[in-house]
Structure 1
Amino acid sequence: MAYPEQIYINGTVLTFDFEGTTAEAVAVQGERIAAVGSTEQLLKLAGPQTAVIDLQGKTILPGFYEAHGHFPLSGILEVQSASLWSPPRGSIRSISGLLDALKDKAANLPAGKWVTGFGYDPSKLAEKRHPSRYELDQAFPEHPVWLSHNSGHMGVANSKALALAGITKNSPAPSIGVIQRDPDGEPTGLIQENGALIEAYIPPLSAEQHAEGIRIANAEYVAQGITSAIIAVGIDPEPLVDAYNRKLLDLRLISIPLFQSDYAPNLVEYELGPVKSQGAKLFQDGSIQGYTGWLSNPYHLPSEDDPLYRGFPMLDREKLAQAVFAVHSAGRQVVIHANGDAAIDDVLYAIGEAQRRLPRPDARHRIEHAQSVREDQLDRMKELGITPSFFNDHVYYFGDDHRDIYLGEDRARRISPLRSAVDRGIRFSLHNDTPITPPSPLHLVSVAVNRLTASGRELGPEYRITPYQALRAVTIDAAWQAFEENDKGSIEVGKLADLVILADNPLTADPLSLHNITVLQTIIGGRQVYAQQGIDFNITTAGV
């Protein structure tokens, strides 16, 4: 008889199984869950070497599933770039403050080396604008510079960076994105929705720097109880596999490859160590807070003095439909970024046409972010079996600006309308889109339950959902969305022993304190990968 290696007893076990069962104890054998039940029942399974961990009333859940992010970019940025975040996340409030942060990061860089920064937000700067290439030239006359906007969808380059990329007054408009120009046709340095025009010329990190970035990001994620994460734009898996083999990486990862621009789907599938590929990623618009989200009605406060400006689509609707059908007909999951409601209209058309031409039940095609989805669009999503992954942290981090600048009161109050999705029986996930916001599933749960902005104001309280519904969206429903519900997302016999232990029960805690619940331990495949400093559960063996 094979005895469990660990038994966790005297806890509150929120299983998130089909019935929503609550238990007291969990037994683990190898990488998988061996039993779930009462403390009395499971203690009878203990063998001479079984470790019995007394949870002392703490709460254990399935490990959190980050449904959309850009692992390990948060760690890579810490190694490579200056932090340019404004409140509530950082301290940058002006262009001069931004330049000072860059200078601190670049203090010891030799002439000619790249200076990079990430996270600036024009709406939070005193000047209410992007920095210009000429301001960056003056501050860094001997360095190429590239600053990424907090959305990750645009950035500003200085003259040296533009020269290295071959971008001049005479450069043609790119097929994707926009090179912003002044009235004389000179590039201002701002490049929207095609940062690769500049980033292609930034030297890659060394292998050791890359490994350090992965280590930092992994530690950040597991400290928040995350055990699985989706890389929403696929990356080279080899550095991840190397980091895993060096015990720098614990997370289980899915990498979604970017759809090829010639409309031939990337069909290379792999499973290497901790990472596997799945689906294909497309973009139909950009970022609402970057004025590149594609809306059906104009922005609340116009961009570039154009009162009719609505953003822009990445692809013509028929070209999008062609691309979607290529992925759909290959049997792959379609994963499409769409923030604005006009972009979502295009996506619904494209997926609808694909299903009309070649019906595929249970395709679980996804719309990423779905920030300004309308009620009629949710109806159509239900009809087509589309599952959204909501970036509901927008409510907290960007909700005040959406209300006051980008969307106005009526549209802003219903961003990420989770209650509307629940009422229709649409399964969905929640995500942080890290590094756009920090990895914190419990913060997502808090935002879903409370719908408070960073200023403390309610934004669309009628779209709140319950803690249980929100927790499903970062556990079992996120796993289901990625076709992993048979292995992950709930605490059931035979599933992977990916678990998180919390100091408090999020189902009974004060809703306003949900984001402050402490992660005590994170367990992946039965192995502890994180423990809060000082945590000391009573552990016994044999005889109990």
Structure 2
Amino acid sequence: MSWKTWVLLGLTFAVGLFTLFSIATRLPTPPEHQVFVNGDVLTMDAENRVVQALSVRGERIEALGSNEEIMALVDDRTEVIDLAGRTLMPGFIDAHGHFPGSALNTVSVDLNSPPIGTMENMEDLLAALRARAAQLPAGEWVTGFGYDDTLLAEGRHPTREELDAVAPEHPVALLHISGHMVVANSRALEAVGIDAETPDPEGGVIGRTPSGELTGLLEETARLPVAERMLDLGAMDFLRMVSAAVREYAEYGVTTAQAGGVAPQMVGGFKLASGLGLMPLRLVLFPMQDDYGEAIAAGTFDPEDLAARRIDVGAVKIVADGSIQGFTGYLTRPYHTPFHGDEDYRGYAAVPRERLFEQIKTLHAAGLQIAVHGNGDASIDDILDAFAAAQAAHPVDDPRLILIHAQMAREDQIQRMADLGVTPSFFAAHTWFWGDRHRDIFIGPERAAQISPAGWAQAAGLRFTSHMDTPVTPMRPLQAAWRLV
């Protein structure tokens, strides 16, 4: 190795360390003592008290009470903030999301359509990918995220041939807005070993033309090999994503993020970010059953192996079906618009019913909290049946089972959730981002009027949460609450 190469490597390493140090030292040190007075302080305690003031010493809330009680704690080192009648509340906890996915635009092309992005038609999308490919050496992956076939003027997915033409020297892969589909070009498919002879995997579909040629579209489990390559990031790219996502979450008052369905290779990145001081917020990891199922069954899974400073492990996640806007959610009645002309098409289960029962039973018996993604009501039937069977076999007083999305839950299913102690987390943003298309394309007026039925849950006395599923929709917690009502 020449001396010039050594110098170049040394400079690269030094620049990397300087960048990491610069990022890690940007976080402000909290004041020694702050008090907030003259406001409506929402305590969120068991009694839901509202008080006038609170005192914060370092990183901990020291006291709550009246103005007089809190002002008695003030000394010459105290910073006093007059709320002037405004409301102060605890930070938001992300009930379900995919941190740091909101910062995918730092490493990938943003292909969102209005109102989130700017892509209005296929040429807009292809032009953005063409520009990205021109910036990269031949052979490097060109990736994009957030495209929505129903919002593009053409009303369809990009094709393998279009992606071949736009970047002939690159593997190209695009993540659908739902996160449940990927479209890839020939180089990307070849890189992961998918060809016209590859059978559909269990719980997934490889898109094909009537003559058997690959379209490039990969649904559900079929997307995983390409998606994993898309998101196989270097350390610096991952840390940039974390840093950008932290800033956005902080801007909107989110103090606990969630990495819902965290891949094993991301855990090391999160621990590195934590060690560098890039994680001022708390992060809850939802490990995937597919990644840790064998260790759980063998009794060797220890959540503490994944944890670190400000990083905790929550529920183990299973994905039981797909998305309604991707026609992969599993319904009891057919979709409103026949999918590929099939009037009986109801979507499909990502996990066969028998296997779902076994997975949930194993997790429950191991004493682990469980979170299952379920959008369609047929999928929700399977999930609740599996929950009930697991609880009957291994009763737990407070199982804290989570049903993620529960988008098409029927009223009888809401009551059953209440009986089983299941907490639904509604993705209520659907009513704003996709409401008209749910009504006109996916499920028709009757079912569209009952999406994310928080009213039924409230009437049943059922505790529920609401989420944004970021990066599917932007992290805007107050908008999530507004959309829910």
> Please, what TM-score do these two structures have when normalized by structure 2?
0.89
| Residues 475-501 of structure 1, C-alpha deviations (whole Å, 9 max, x = no match) | xxxxxxxxxxxxxxxxxxxxxxxxxxx
For 2:142, the equivalent position in structure 1 comes to 115
Whether contact under 8 Å (1:26, 1:37) holds in the other structure is yes
For 2:131, the equivalent position in structure 1 comes to 104
Match of 2:86 among 58, 61, 80: 58
**Cα gap change, 1:261 to 1:309, in 2 (>3 Å):** farther
The answer to whether residue 198 in structure 2 is matched with residue 164 in structure 1 is no
For 1:291, the equivalent position in structure 2 comes to 327
Distance (whole Å) between structure 1 residues aligned to residue 323 and residue 295 of structure 2: 24
The 5-angstrom pairing of residues 184-263 of structure 1 reads 184-194=211-221, 195-202=223-230, 204-235=232-263, 236-260=266-290, 263=293
**1:222 shift after superposition:** 0.7
Is 368-377 or 174-183 further displaced after alignment? 174-183
**1:430 shift after superposition:** 0.8
For 1:515, the equivalent position in structure 2 comes to none
**1:268 shift after superposition:** 2.5
Distance (whole Å) between structure 1 residues aligned to residue 158 and residue 267 of structure 2: 35
Distance (whole Å) between structure 1 residues aligned to residue 466 and residue 100 of structure 2: 19
For 1:47, the equivalent position in structure 2 comes to 75
| Residues 267-304 of structure 1, C-alpha deviations (whole Å, 9 max, x = no match) | 32123012121221001101000000000000000111
Distance (whole Å) between structure 2 residues aligned to residue 153 and residue 275 of structure 1: 26
**1:202 shift after superposition:** 4.1
Amino acid at match of 1:268: D
Match of 2:43 among 4, 11, 15: 15
The 5-angstrom pairing of residues 269-284 of structure 1 reads 269-270=303-304, 271-284=307-320
Distance (whole Å) between structure 2 residues aligned to residue 203 and residue 48 of structure 1: 51
**1:43 shift after superposition:** 0.4
**1:265 shift after superposition:** 5.7
For these two proteins, the number of residue pairs brought into alignment is: 446
Distance (whole Å) between structure 2 residues aligned to residue 247 and residue 376 of structure 1: 47
The answer to whether residue 390 in structure 2 is matched with residue 360 in structure 1 is no
Give secondary structure in 1 for the equivalent of 2:96.
strand
Amino acid at match of 2:135: N
Distance (whole Å) between structure 2 residues aligned to residue 397 and residue 383 of structure 1: 32
Is 403-412 or 84-93 further displaced after alignment? 84-93
Give secondary structure in 1 for the equivalent of 2:89.
strand
The answer to whether residue 347 in structure 2 is matched with residue 311 in structure 1 is yes
Match of 1:301 among 337, 344, 349: 337
| Residues 393-451 of structure 1, C-alpha deviations (whole Å, 9 max, x = no match) | 111111111111001001011101111101111111111110000001111011122xx
Between 1 and 2, higher relative CO (CA 8 Å, sep ≥ 6) is seen in 1
For 2:484, the equivalent position in structure 1 comes to 448
**1:263 shift after superposition:** 4.8
For 2:170, the equivalent position in structure 1 comes to 143
Match of 1:177 among 187, 204, 221: 204
For 2:121, the equivalent position in structure 1 comes to 94
**1:117 shift after superposition:** 0.6
Distance (whole Å) between structure 1 residues aligned to residue 192 and residue 172 of structure 2: 12
**Cα gap change, 1:135 to 1:376, in 2 (>3 Å):** same
Whether contact under 8 Å (2:175, 2:227) holds in the other structure is no
More helix by share: 2
Amino acid at match of 1:41: E
Give secondary structure in 2 for the equivalent of 1:233.
strand
**1:36 shift after superposition:** 1.0
Distance (whole Å) between structure 1 residues aligned to residue 231 and residue 383 of structure 2: 35
Distance (whole Å) between structure 2 residues aligned to residue 70 and residue 31 of structure 1: 26
| Residues 316-340 of structure 1, C-alpha deviations (whole Å, 9 max, x = no match) | 2121111000000111111000000
Give secondary structure in 2 for the equivalent of 1:197.
helix
Is 416-425 or 46-55 further displaced after alignment? 46-55
Amino acid at match of 2:303: E
The 5-angstrom pairing of residues 426-445 of structure 1 reads 426-445=462-481
Whether contact under 8 Å (1:337, 1:369) holds in the other structure is yes
Distance (whole Å) between structure 1 residues aligned to residue 191 and residue 346 of structure 2: 32
Q: CA RMSD in A?
A: 1.7
Amino acid at match of 1:160: R
Taking every aligned residue pair, what percent have the same amino acid on both sides? 45
Is 248-257 or 285-294 further displaced after alignment? 248-257
Distance (whole Å) between structure 1 residues aligned to residue 406 and residue 327 of structure 2: 16
For 1:409, the equivalent position in structure 2 comes to 445
**1:79 shift after superposition:** 1.8
**1:144 shift after superposition:** 0.9
Give secondary structure in 1 for the equivalent of 2:287.
coil
| Residues 193-252 of structure 1, C-alpha deviations (whole Å, 9 max, x = no match) | 032221344473221121111100110111000000221112433222322333322110
Distance (whole Å) between structure 2 residues aligned to residue 157 and residue 315 of structure 1: 24
Whether contact under 8 Å (2:129, 2:166) holds in the other structure is no
Amino acid at match of 1:38: S
Give secondary structure in 1 for the equivalent of 2:303.
coil
The 5-angstrom pairing of residues 509-520 of structure 1 reads none
The answer to whether residue 54 in structure 2 is matched with residue 5 in structure 1 is no
**1:262 shift after superposition:** 8.7
Distance (whole Å) between structure 1 residues aligned to residue 251 and residue 262 of structure 2: 24
**1:16 shift after superposition:** 2.3
> Please, what TM-score do these two structures have when normalized by structure 1?
0.79
For 1:80, the equivalent position in structure 2 comes to 107
Distance (whole Å) between structure 2 residues aligned to residue 62 and residue 263 of structure 1: 35
Distance (whole Å) between structure 2 residues aligned to residue 161 and residue 107 of structure 1: 17
Is 38-47 or 286-295 further displaced after alignment? 38-47
Amino acid at match of 1:144: P
**Cα gap change, 1:60 to 1:437, in 2 (>3 Å):** same
The answer to whether residue 132 in structure 2 is matched with residue 132 in structure 1 is no
**Cα gap change, 1:249 to 1:263, in 2 (>3 Å):** closer
The answer to whether residue 302 in structure 2 is matched with residue 268 in structure 1 is yes
Distance (whole Å) between structure 2 residues aligned to residue 338 and residue 200 of structure 1: 22
Distance (whole Å) between structure 2 residues aligned to residue 203 and residue 241 of structure 1: 17
Whether contact under 8 Å (1:165, 1:198) holds in the other structure is yes
Amino acid at match of 1:17: D
Match of 2:367 among 317, 323, 331: 331
Give secondary structure in 2 for the equivalent of 1:264.
helix
Amino acid at match of 1:14: L
Amino acid at match of 2:146: G
| Residues 161-191 of structure 1, C-alpha deviations (whole Å, 9 max, x = no match) | 1111111111122123111111121211000
For 2:406, the equivalent position in structure 1 comes to 370
**1:362 shift after superposition:** 0.8
Whether contact under 8 Å (2:284, 2:313) holds in the other structure is yes
